[in-house]
Amino acid sequence: MARHTPFHERTSVLNTTQLWSHWAGYLSAQRYQLSEKFEYFAVRNSAGMFDTSPLYKYRIHGRDAETFLGGLLTRDIRKCRPGHAQYTIWCDDDGYLIEDGVVIRQSETDFLLSAAEPNLAYFQDRIGRLDVTIDDISDEVAALALQGPKSREILTKLSPEIESLRYFQTIETKIGGAPVTVSRTGFTGDLGYEIWVENANALALWDAVADASDGYGVLPFGETALLMTRIEAGLVLIDVDFSSSRYAWTDADRTTPLELGLGWMLRSIDDNERPFIGRQAIRRELAAGSRWHLTGLLIDWKDWFNLYDRNGLVPPKDHLPGAYESILYDDAAEPVGYATSLMYSPMVQRHIAIARVLPELSTPGHQVNLEVTINHKWQQVKATTTQMPFYSPPHKTA
Amino acid sequence: MANDRTYDAIIVGGGHNGLVNGSYLAKAGLKTLVIERRHLVGGAAITEELYPGFSFTTFSYALSLLRPDIIHELELVKYGFKPLLMESTFAPMEDGNYLLLGQDHQANIAEIRRHSKHDADAYDQYSHDVNRVCRAIKPLLDNIPPDITSRDPEELVRMASLAQHMRDLEPRVLHNAVRLLTGSAADFLDDYFESEILKATLSSSGIIGTKVGPRSQGSGLVLLYHYMGEHDGDQSSWAFHKGGNGGFTQVLARAFQGFGGEISLESPVARVITSNGKATGVALEDGTEFSANIVVSALDPRRTFLELVDPRELPSDLVENINRFRFQGTSAKVNFALDGLPKFPALGDRADQFRGFTNIGPSLDYLERAFDDAKYGWYSQRPYIDACFQSTVDPDMAPPGKHVMSGFIQYAPYDLKGSDWDTEREKFGDTVQAVLESHFPGFGDLVLHREIVTPLDIERVVGLSEGNIFGGEFLAPQMFFFRPAPGWNQYRTPIEGYYQCGSGTHPGGCVMGAPGKLAASQILKDAKP
């Protein structure tokens, strides 16, 4: 039987559709009301509450915790000071991505790492003789995200210190009487926060945030609206934009950090003081070049319109992310890449996609042709490579 | 260059069409000036803080027909274009029941089944049929119509391609198009539906802004226009621009300035200066003169042809046509600042029904009776109301927990028999408020501020003749070939260099922008050496 998150007593009442998906064994709302698009606009124009409790959460602590994570994680954890968070990844020996997640450094020796998939055995097997303990606190700690331009104003009413919290900073504070960790992080590409709380205090936290949100047009939002915002934010998603190398069958199904646009995490790769898993393979890739480069795609709105119109159809503007991969071609009909996430973006007012292309096409402004199926035929629509994120309001990092 | 008053093009009137037109001209490299009489641009698409903390969309209040090419060609996203979603239509009934249609197709079918199982099925057929007509008609919105009076080969080609377009349509689509373009909304809807509330709700978009009842011939055309509205491809919902339609016209103004255009506010224009049948500039009421070889009127046809220029310079058949061009504004607004959302008894504490349009017009008879009052020269005693609690969509429109309501009211004829709007204004407001009170008991207790906008106020403030919100009635004899007059439906005027781009030109009113854009394409084509 699917389990309930600590917020379920509230979310089950709010979810008027009773449409749930199954995430890490928990019921997770797909949408709370009849219009996921309305929830999406709450995030983009006011703020939205998202129950992100099904994330796997690991408390990693001990004298050697930094050394351990330094060897495990691709991004340099030494650069993450206490009170800060890092978006990070971990790779296998061949430099292929296993997963991504967010790590919060609560003290010199205490870290909270969250990820979408289970990693406990993999992490524990790599502790060896180091003084490190990993507690899987997934079922003991709930997480509530408040995302959107009004989130700071609302949370500041509950804890004034939050006002000065900077992008990817974290603090320990109290909300609704409950001790919480607040990180200025999220998956929406907007101003936003994630609040971590013991299960016993989860409802008190939810109620406090809901009360403080009253009158602001804040809505709970489900997975569909979250997936819309994350594509606009240019954030890649496991099992959609990449597969974990641990479970991939072929290298074609594996991805390296460089291929996924995460090269910026590799700034200290030449630092011999920090060997980490996959480092040598990534160094070889840096020298030899990558198979693919990540890019954003802007679909040519006029070509999209004309293509459907020629086929006797009204051009769709479907904001629901497509659950399929689309092949990209050059003008000579040679395959040059593939798009993994495609949607109509209300903020960009055109279709956008997250894609991988041959390295020579990775700079912005290259034209490719995206395959779409219309009237049972493969047809192609023009698209241009572009930098991501597609949507990045100034308040995201301000 | 402060004293340099010479431009390539001057647009008289900073409404949305004037700004769109100016943007295209400026983008093409013309030194362009938009002259606006008021202290802000936007025309009838403005947002004003009329009560502290509450933003009112005084006149125009939703966005749905803006042409997509304008969004992209003028790079409006870069300048802050942000159409939010109005997700539903809520139609309260007189017996306390209601119809609530929203974004979820399955839920809509279930909701219609509450009223008629037959109609639940017919609804899909209706939507499909009307959507097919929309697809057939939309290209007409995006192209300059042929000049029916011309034998110019180019015009004959245009006529031929129009005929070809019609011939390519399936007979059923073509017939439905003609039924809608010439017939009544009620007749069309009667062929599909039995439920009064469903027919009334759908037919109400056939009367908006127009002096017709749902059973009048001509309401089908208005219905079709509004049916073409959408939010991001969603035919069933409309957009509310961030900050209201004033927020939208500010985006347009930024785009215009981004392309190098200049705006002169608080500059009432006295006349267009002409010399030997050519436009040479514009004179303000204070005597300031600006010169340009291209002058564009974004005002309505009456002001364009009878006020800005001397009608004696124009062919008399054109003057005659413009003189009889119907304005007869019939719509008003009553906007409210509210202490909270009203309650609809059957839905208890629920409030999500207010996140779109609240449509008060529960039966065809109700709407037709409301029209009857107008036919005989008075405002409706039980008016049709299209209300939007806009702060539910954009919380920044009102302080937290408070709300602003835009109320579009019909019918309110410009000419009142035996009285005038200055005398009747408050009584009219009370009439509207009484209807709201009857559906939402306790509504009156929520009212913090009330703004009444009669057709006379629309004319006085915005300048739209007789307060017609479309810059001239949406009636078949005034559309397409004939908007605003046969032979002058291609944005030109008999005065060389003098053009028209307001809602009184093809394809007409609503915040569509197409007149401004199409006029610009004509101007730029004419300007080519």
* The three-state (H, E, C) secondary structure of B364-425, written as one string: HHHHHHHHHHHHCCCCCCCCEEEEEEHHHCCHHHCCCCCEEEEEEEECCCCCCCCCCHHHHH
> Which residues from B are below 8 Å from A35, CB to CB?
85, 87-88, 102-104
Give yes or no: residues A38 and A165 share one domain.
yes
The answer to the question of residue B111 being in a domain is no
Q: For residue A347, what is the domain's CATH number? A: 2.40.30.110
Q: Which of B233, B234, B395 has its CB closest to that of A46? A: B395
Same domain, B391 and B314: no
Quick check: B351 contacting A, CB < 8 Å?
no
Residue B400 touches chain A, beta carbons under 8 Å: yes
State which of A192, A221, A250 marks the end of a domain.
A221
Distance from CA of B365 to the nearest CA of A (A): 31
Identify the pLDDT of residue B217: 96
CB within 8 A of A106, min separation 6: which ones?
A: A82, A112, A170, A172, A181
Q: Residues B48-62: what's their mean pLDDT?
A: 97
From A41, A46, A301, residue closest to B68, measured CB to CB: A301
Same domain, B311 and B336: no
Mutate to test the interface with A, among B133, B235, B396 (most CBs of A within 10 A): B396
Instruction: With respect to residue B216, please indicate whether it lies within any of the assigned structural domains.
Output: no
How far, in Å, CA of A53 to CA of A28, rounded? 9
A383 belongs to a structural domain: yes
The verdict on a CB contact (< 8 Å) between A344 and B233 is yes
User: Per the domain annotation, does B171 fall within a domain?
Assistant: no
Same domain, A211 and A298: no
Q: Are residues B315 and B350 in the same domain?
A: no
Contact B85 A45 (CB under 8 A): no
The yes-or-no verdict on residue B2 having pLDDT over 80 is no
Answer yes or no: do A344 and B87 touch at CB < 8 A.
no
Å from A42 to nearest chain B CA?
Answer: 8
Out of A196, A221, A246, pick the residue that ends a domain: A221
For tokens 């919290």, name the residue: A165
Q: Please answer whether residues A340 and A368 qualify as being in contact, where contact means their C-beta atoms are separated by less than 8 angstroms.
A: no
Pairing mode of beta strands B403-410, B83-86: unpaired
d(CA B227, CA B189): 13
Say if residue B368 is in the same domain as residue B455. yes
Give B401's contacts in chain A (Cβ within 8 Å): 214-215
Structural domain includes residue A158: yes
Whether residues A209 and A320 share a domain: the answer is no
Q: Between A and B, how many residue pairs show a Cβ–Cβ distance under 8 A?
A: 78
Tell me if A84 is assigned to some domain: no
Give the Å distances, CA to CA, from A59 to A62, A70, A126, A194: 10, 15, 15, 16
Of the candidates A208, A144, A150, the one whose C-alpha atom is nearest the C-alpha of residue A174 is: A208
- CA gap A184, B478 in Å, rounded: 58
| CATH number assigned to the domain comprising residue B302 | 3.50.50.60
- Residues B287 and B339 both lie in one domain: no
Q: What digits encode the pLDDT tens for the residues A293-334? A: 999 999 999 999 999 999 999 999 999 998 899 999 999 999
Q: Number of structural domains, chain A? A: 2
Distance CA A4, CA A7 (A): 8
In a domain, B264, yes or no: yes
Does residue B424 belong to any structural domain of this protein? yes
Query: Which pTM value belongs to this model?
Result: 0.96
> Which conformational region is residue A122 in: left (phi greater than 0), alpha (psi within -120 to 50 degrees), or beta?
alpha
Q: Of the candidates B441, B462, B483, which is a domain's last residue?
A: B462
Pick from A37, A347, A349: CB nearest B85: A37
Mutate to test the interface with A, among B232, B236, B402 (most CBs of A within 10 A): B232
Q: Domain total for chain B? A: 2
Q: What residues in A contact B85, CB-CB < 8 Å? A: 35, 37-38, 41, 346
Sort out which chain A residues have CB atoms less than 8 A from B241's CB and list them: none
Q: Please, what is the end-to-end C-alpha distance for chain A in angstroms?
A: 43
Is A215–B83 a contact, with Cβ atoms under 8 angstroms apart? no
State which residue of chain A sits closest to B168, comparing Cα positions: A312
Is the distance from CB of B433 to CB of B304 less than 8 angstroms? no
Is the domain of B304 the same as that of B356? no
Residue A75 is assigned to a structural domain of this protein: no
Residue B95 has pLDDT above 50, yes or no: yes
Q: How many Cβ atoms sit within 10 Å of the Cβ of residue B345?
A: 11
The reply to whether B321 and B278 lie within a common domain is yes
In a domain, residue B54? The reply is yes
What percent of chain B has a predicted confidence (pLDDT) above 70? 99
B135 touches chain A (CB under 8 A): yes
What's the token pair of residue A289?
């070049």
- The answer to whether the CB atoms of A34 and B103 lie below 8 A apart is yes
Chain B residues whose CB is inside 8 A of the A316 CB are 233
In the listed set A221, A245, A266, which residue is the last one of a domain according to the structure? A221
Alpha-helical (H) ranges within B183-304 are 185-190, 196-203, 219-227, 244-258, 301-302
Distance CA A216, CA A42 (A): 9
Structure tokens at B288: 């300031």
Contact criterion met (CB < 8 Å) for A347 and B395: no
B285 falls within a domain: yes
At B1 the pLDDT is 43
Q: How confident is the model at residue B3 (pLDDT cuts 50, 70, 90)?
A: low
Same domain (yes/no): B307, B345: no
Q: Which of B443, B449, B369, B452 is nearest to B407 (CA)?
A: B452
What digits encode the pLDDT tens for the residues B223-247? Answer: 999 999 888 888 778 999 999 999 9
B72 vs A301: CB contact, 8 Å cut-off? yes
Tell me the CATH number at A165.
3.30.1360.120
Chain A interface with B: residues with Cβ < 8 Å: 17, 33-35, 37-38, 41, 45-46, 150, 214-217, 301-302, 305, 314-319, 344, 346-350
Clarify whether residues B490 and B385 are in a common domain: no
Tell me if A133 is assigned to some domain.
no
A215 plus A319 within the same structural domain = no
Beta pairing class for B9-12 and B32-35: parallel
A152 within domain boundaries: yes
A42 and A163 share one domain: yes
Task: Answer whether B102 touches A (CB < 8 Å).
Answer: yes
Out of B462, B482, B512, pick the residue that ends a domain.
B462
Asked if residue A148 and residue A40 are part of one domain, the reply reads: yes
| Chain A closest-CA separation from residue B206 CA (Å) | 23
Answer yes or no: do B321 and B419 share one domain: no
Residues of A whose CB is below 8 A from B392: 217
**Most B CBs within 10 Å: which of A16, A41, A298, A348, as the mutation test of the B interface?**
A41
Expressed as residue numbers, the domain containing A164 is: 8-55+139-221
Chain B (68-97) residues lying within 8 Å, Cβ to Cβ, of chain A: 68-69, 71-72, 76-77, 81-85, 87-88
- Domain check: are A20 and A145 in the same one? yes
| pLDDT at residue B367, as a whole number | 98
Considering CB atoms only, which of A46, A302, A317 is closest to B232? A317
Spans in chain A with pLDDT lower than 50? none
Cβ–Cβ below 8 Å for A35 and B103: yes
Residue position matching structure tokens 């003057």: B319
0.90 surpassed by complex ipTM: yes
Per-residue pLDDT, averaged over B301-323, amounts to: 97
Binary contact (A38, B233; C-beta < 8 A): no
B451 and B363, same domain (yes or no):
yes
Distance, in Å, from the CA atom of B303 to the CA atom of B311, rounded to the nearest integer, reads 10
Q: Cβ–Cβ of B77/A215 closer than 8 Å?
A: no
Cα A306 to Cα A215, B56, B66, B237, distances in angstroms: 43, 38, 18, 23
Parallel, antiparallel, or unpaired for β A84-91 and A97-107?
A: antiparallel
What is the residue range of B67's domain?
9-83+243-326+473-527
Contact A150 B352 (CB under 8 A): no
Torsional sign, CA B102, B104, B105, B106: negative
Question: Are A216 and A350 members of one domain?
Answer: no
Q: How many CB atoms lie within 10 A of CB A378?
A: 11
Domain assignment present for residue B220? The answer is: no
Q: Rounded mean pLDDT of B508-522? A: 97
A87 lies in some domain: no
Are both A39 and A177 inside the same structural domain? Answer: yes
Of the residues B73, B77, B170, the best mutation for testing chain A's interface (the one with the most A CB atoms within 10 Å of its CB) is B77
Same domain flag for B490 and B391: no
- What's chain B's average pLDDT? 96
> Is there a single domain that holds both residue A174 and residue A304?
no
Residue A286 lies in a domain: no
